[in-house]
Amino acid sequence: MDFILQPWPWFISGPLIAFVLFLFFYFGKNFGVSTNLETMCTIAGAGKVSDYFKKDWKERDWALVFLIGLVIGGFITANYLSNSVTIDLNPKTVQELADLGFTNAGDTFVPNEIFRIENMLTLKGFAVLLIAGILIGFGTRYAGGCTSGHAITGLSSLQLPSLIAVIGFFIGGLLMTWFLFPLIFG
Amino acid sequence: MKNLKFLLLGVFFGIVLTKSEAISWYRIYEMFKFQSFHMYGIIGSAVAVSMVLMYFFKNGTIKDYLGNQITIKEKKKGFIKTLVGGTIFGLGWALAGACPAPIFVLIGHGIFPIMIVLIGAMLGTFIYGLLSNKLPN
């Protein structure tokens, strides 16, 4: 039981993610999460504005059920399967984040500096969250997939578009982390 | 209920993503700073094991639960769309420290402000839908 309560090492986690991929295909579906953002837009009524969203979302009801499962899985782990959150970060990372104004890096899953409730009430705090979301939504749909669809499913099935997409993920991620963070938070 | 298995699969994936710390903003930051092997190990080993699975899917050794051949959807081709789209996604991934699946897992953790990221992601998807005919491939 103690092992379950501790954070899991990468060589356990990675193969377990592959096991999730296996079950998706075994149940006759493809592994990918970001298509659900389109389904959610369809449910919210986006089909009235654009034909792109005129789809029968009921064909993807199983995927929405999966999303509900993700929320429940997060809840169960947070409340019953963890003894502490502390993330074993590289001390250099902790120091660099402190220099950027992010204190106590690794004591929680996400930094208070971005995910504090009060941030939703400030223009900058709200804008950071909303813009990050817009970039995620627009980017995954334009690229045709996210980490699960491109980086894991696409790369492992040796698809060239996924390799290009993953290179893009890194160009964007490096730009944000190395150049834009100091401008946004510095 | 025919979708129960997908509910359980979601629960399991939510647990794995939490216990692996892949839902942590800090782990994503550390990855893009090349200061830890952790995320590379997770994604790398997931891809490596999946490659073996894909081999058995393609040659028909592993069939789906109904006994049908498993087919892997071909990703749409297009250099500009995958590279530019990927770059835009990467910017958001690093800023929010979460890709689509972890967004939902973090809701379960009670991180309420991640809902703004989710609303943003739906908005971004909506903007893409409006522009999809006009964007270069």
Cβ contact (<8 Å) for B86 and A139?
Answer: yes
**Out of B7, B95, B111, closest to residue A132 by CB:** B95
Minimum distance, in Å, between the CA of residue A185 and any CA atom of chain B: 11
| A95 falls within a domain | no
Q: Residue by residue, what is the 3-state secondary structure of chain B? A: CCCHHHHHHHHHHHHHHHHCCCCCHHHHHHHHCCCCCHHHHHHHHHHHHHHHHHHHHHCCCCCCCCCCCCCCCCCCCCHHHHHHHHHHHHHHHHHHCCCHHHHHHHHHCCCCCHHHHHHHHHHHHHHHHHHCCCCCC
User: Which residues 61-120 in chain B show a CB within 8 A of chain A?
Assistant: 62, 64-66, 68, 70, 72-79, 81-101, 103-114, 116-120
| A42 falls within a domain | yes
Per-chain mean pLDDT for chain B? 96
Cβ contact (<8 Å) for B113 and A65?
Answer: no
Question: In this model, does residue A182 exceed pLDDT 90?
Answer: yes
For residue A166, what pLDDT band results from cuts at 50, 70 and 90?
very high
By C-alpha distance, which of A163, A176, A115, A168 is closest to B92?
A: A176
Sign, CA torsion B16/B19/B24/B28: negative
The answer on A121 and A179 residing in a single domain is yes
CA-to-CA separations, A164 to A24, A68, A101, B82, B86, in angstroms, rounded: 24, 31, 34, 6, 8
The answer on A66 and A3 residing in a single domain is yes
Cβ contact (<8 Å) for B6 and A37?
Answer: no
| A93 falls within a domain | no
Q: What is the pLDDT of residue A4?
A: 85
| A167 falls within a domain | yes
Question: In this model, does residue B1 exceed pLDDT 90?
Answer: no
**Out of A24, A89, A142, closest to residue B128 by CB:** A142
pLDDT tens readout for residues A37-59: 999 999 999 999 999 999 999 99
Cβ contact (<8 Å) for B84 and A168?
Answer: yes
Amino acid at A74: G
The answer on A13 and A68 residing in a single domain is yes
Question: In this model, does residue A23 exceed pLDDT 80?
Answer: yes
The answer on A72 and A9 residing in a single domain is yes
| A100 falls within a domain | no
By C-alpha distance, which of B109, B72, B16, B37 is closest to A157?
A: B72
| A89 falls within a domain | no
The answer on A73 and A126 residing in a single domain is no
The answer on A78 and A140 residing in a single domain is no
Residues with Cβ within 8 Å of residue A160, at least 6 apart in sequence: B77
What's the whole-number mean pLDDT along residues B7-18?
Answer: 97
Contact B92, A139 (CB under 8 A): yes
| A96 falls within a domain | no
**Out of A92, A164, A169, closest to residue B89 by CB:** A169
A170: enclosing H helix or E strand:
helix A160-174
Contact A131, B95 (CB under 8 A): yes
pLDDT tens readout for residues B46-96: 999 999 999 999 999 999 999 999 999 999 999 999 999 999 999 999 999
| A99 falls within a domain | no
The answer on A135 and A71 residing in a single domain is no
The answer on A64 and A120 residing in a single domain is no
Cβ contact (<8 Å) for B18 and A78?
Answer: yes
Question: In this model, does residue B137 exceed pLDDT 80?
Answer: no
Lowest mean pLDDT: which of A58-62, A73-77, B115-119? A58-62
How many domains does one find in chain A?
2
What's the whole-number mean pLDDT along residues B17-26?
Answer: 97
For residue B136, what pLDDT band results from cuts at 50, 70 and 90?
confident
> Directed axis angle between helix A123-143 and helix B79-96, to 10°?
150
Sign, CA torsion B33/A152/B132/B113: negative
Q: Which residues of B touch A177 (CB under 8 A)?
A: 29, 32-33, 94
- B2 reaches A (C-beta below 8 A): yes
Q: Which residues of B touch A139 (CB under 8 A)?
A: 85-92, 124
By C-alpha distance, which of A33, A9, A186, A4 is closest to A99?
A: A186
A94: enclosing H helix or E strand:
helix A91-99
Question: In this model, does residue A85 exceed pLDDT 90?
Answer: no
The answer on A4 and A70 residing in a single domain is yes
Q: How far, rounded to the nearest angstrom, does the alpha carbon of residue A87 sit from its chain's CA centroid?
A: 18
Cβ contact (<8 Å) for B108 and A78?
Answer: yes
The answer on A8 and A70 residing in a single domain is yes
Between A1 and A14, where is the model more confident? A14
The answer on A15 and A73 residing in a single domain is yes
Question: In this model, does residue A2 exceed pLDDT 90?
Answer: no
pLDDT tens readout for residues A103-130: 999 999 999 999 999 999 999 999 999 9
Between B104 and A84, where is the model more confident? B104
For residue A186, what pLDDT band results from cuts at 50, 70 and 90?
confident
The whole domain housing A164 covers: 116-186
The answer on A78 and A2 residing in a single domain is yes
